[in-house]
Amino acid sequence: MKYLLLVCADPALEFAPEQQAVLASDTESWTEEMDSRGVRLQGSRLQSISDATTVRRRDGDVLVADGPFAETKEYIAGFDVLDCVDLDEAIEVAAKHPMAQYGTLEVRPFWKP
């Protein structure tokens, strides 16, 4: 079953340079492990929320706004597409992600037609 893993972070969260290096290394290790297990199909960090554009269509009008849609403290910092046996495996994979210590990881199954 395919799952989308949303990596959410708090914009107020700041890391010292040495912490950033450790997090980057840990994330690379996580990526390599999940790739070798065949559960991570794709993933990427995202640009800053200041680069986000929100598009809505209301009453025939296209409304474009700068910034993310969600009115929340956290923002989506990255994503991974997972192919796991079941939700338990997807949770195990998410729990191993280094950002699970600092942010929130949302695991959401892909739509089944």
Task: State how beta strands 75-83 and 2-9 pair.
Answer: antiparallel
CA-to-CA distance for 43 and 5, rounded, in angstroms? 9
What CATH number did the domain enclosing 68 receive?
3.30.70.1060
Q: What's the pLDDT tens digit per position in 63-112?
A: 888 876 666 677 889 999 999 999 999 999 999 999 999 989 999 999 98
- In a 3-state reduction of DSSP, which class is residue 59? coil
- Of 104, 100, 110, 75, the residue nearest 4 (C-alpha): 110
Q: What's the pLDDT tens digit per position in 3-46?
A: 999 999 888 888 999 999 999 999 999 999 999 999 999 999 99
Q: Domain containing 17: what range?
A: 2-109
Whole-structure pTM value: 0.85
Residue owning tokens 């949303």 = 6
- Provide the pLDDT confidence category of residue 48 given band limits of 50, 70 and 90: confident
Number of domains the chain contains: 1
